[in-house]
Amino acid sequence: MKKITIALIAIFAIGFTSCEVEPVDNSIDGVAGKAKVEKTKPETEETPDCTVSLLPTLPSMVSACTTSKGEGSLLGAYFDLTINDTELAGNYAAWCVDVDLSLGADECYDYNVYSSYAELPAGAFEQPGNFDLINWIVNQNFVGQASPSGGAYTFGDVQWAIWELIDDKNCVTCAYLGSDWSRTKGQEIVDAAIANGEGYEPGAGEVMAVVLIPTGRTQSVIVTIPLGCEPEPSCETAFARGTDGNTCFIGEGFSRWGWSIGPLAEGTQATYDVYAGAGQCDISKGELVGTVDVSYIDGNVTVTYNIDAAYNVSDTHTYAGSAMFPTKNGEPTVAPGQYYIEENLSGDIYVIAHADVCKD
């Protein structure tokens, strides 16, 4: 059971790592960060009826080893990296997201794992708000594409652009970026990301950057994972029902179904079933999804929602008062968003317990 307890009082209702050991160029200023965390990818015309999670379930930690660096990469990135355990086990093209410490080829470390759209540890990155731009870059497949300034973009151009956006300073000698990279091409990628990547969220069929932050003093990297459609959760509204059915909203002149429980005398301690999707207050059409415990002792009301573990609870609303229904502008209402707890409760009271529940 998932327990959500709402106590209702009568007086008042309820330092990290890098890729190269070298001096940094103090003349290069990082792009200002843009703090944001987005949880889900909304439906798009390209992916109808498709939900994409930007906060997928990830292992908390992985063991990973670099197998090559710079021009030695076989996967066209700054590093080739192998994750050795968990469901992420496999070979990845990896990019450096810090320019202050070193990480070479053939080094193994334990890494903490984060979605690039999650809240990252404070101080881990100078410009964490720019991970939307980084996600845009890794979905453009720049390496090998023609540059307007001549030649083709290389992994070094992409890596320089990532540093320029995520760090506060960039490399100086840039020793591992290869022979064909240039600041001009790197800046083209930066400019394109700023112009097109603000607020970017990858969708189904695209990739998302996953951040690996080491437990030791070495550099943080990103790898990418593919995103696919996830089934839409099935959500229903649910209400607690008195043991004898008590009062259905519909019988009291409302079009919405649900129940007001009561009257409840001082000293009441009782448990009531919670039904979801019981249209017209017909529990044969609904589903029992848990219970609520109601305690009314010494003028204090405590409501505990015990929802079955198969459901996620997105919201709850609770009313407790001397009348059967709450009021808005002097008129009775059963809209959950209008529920409140009366002050100075005494004598018989009524309770309405509402929850929004979703089943994956």
pLDDT band per the 50, 70, 90 thresholds, residue 49:
low
What three-state secondary structure class fits 77? coil
Residue 241 reports pLDDT greater than 50? yes
Residue-range definition of the domain harbouring residue 237: 233-359
Which parts of the chain fold into alpha helices (H)? 131-138, 155-166, 183-196
Rounded CA gap, 332 and 324, in Å? 9
Q: Does 1 score more than 80 pLDDT?
A: no
Predicted confidence at residue 37, as pLDDT, reads: 30
What is the pLDDT, as a whole number, of residue 230?
78
DSSP conformation letters of 258-294: -EEEEEE-TT-EEEEEEEES-GGG-TTSSEEEEEEEE
The Cα 105–Cα 107 span in angstroms is 6
- With cut-offs at 50, 70 and 90, classify the pLDDT of residue 101: confident
Can you tell me the distance from the alpha carbon of 138 to that of 70, in angstroms, rounded to the nearest whole number?
A: 17
- Pair (130, 216) in one structural domain: yes
Domain identity same for 241 and 203: no
Q: Coil, strand, or helix at residue 132?
A: helix
CA distances for 238 relative to 254, 281, 316, 336, angstroms: 16, 11, 9, 11
The reported pLDDT for the residue numbered 104 is 93
Which are the contacts of 285, defined by CB distance < 8 A and separation ≥ 6? 277, 278, 279
Query: What's the whole-model pTM score?
Result: 0.59
pLDDT tens-digit readout, 256-298: 999 999 999 999 999 999 999 999 999 999 999 999 999 999 9
Q: Is the pLDDT at 208 greater than 90, yes or no?
A: yes
Is 251 or 155 the better-scoring residue by pLDDT? 155
Average pLDDT, stretch 328-340?
91
- Pair 176, 264 in one domain: no
pLDDT band at residue 243 using 50, 70 and 90 as cut-offs: confident
Three-state secondary structure call for residue 152: strand
Residue 44 predicted with pLDDT over 50: no
Residue 191 domain-assigned? yes
Same domain, 142 and 257: no
Q: How many domains in the chain? A: 2
Helices 131-138, 183-196: inter-axial angle, 10-degree rounding: 110
Pairwise CA distance, residues 178 & 96, whole Å: 15
Residues 222 and 237 in one domain: no
Give the span between the Cα atoms of 201 and 32, in whole angstroms.
Answer: 19
Q: Do 191 and 251 sit in the same domain of this protein?
A: no
Question: Model confidence at 329, in pLDDT bands (50, 70, 90)?
Answer: confident
182 with 272, same domain? Answer: no
Give the model's pLDDT for residue 5: 55
- Pick from 166, 191, 226: which residue ends a domain? 226
Structure tokens at 142: 């720049």
What pLDDT does 46 receive? 43
Same domain for 250 and 115: no
Planar angle of CA 39, 41, 43, nearest 5 degrees = 145
| Residues 68-90, mean pLDDT to the nearest whole number | 96
- Do both 215 and 237 map to the same domain? no
The mean pLDDT value of the chain amounts to 86
Residue 14 lies in a domain: no
Q: What is the mean pLDDT of residues 114-134?
A: 95
pLDDT at 108 over 90: yes
| pLDDT reported for residue 274 | 97
Q: Higher pLDDT residue, 33 or 221?
A: 221
CA distance 207 to 209: 7
**pLDDT tops 80 at residue 248:** yes
Lowest mean pLDDT among 46-50, 85-89, 161-165, 318-322: 46-50
Residue % of the chain over a pLDDT of 90 = 75
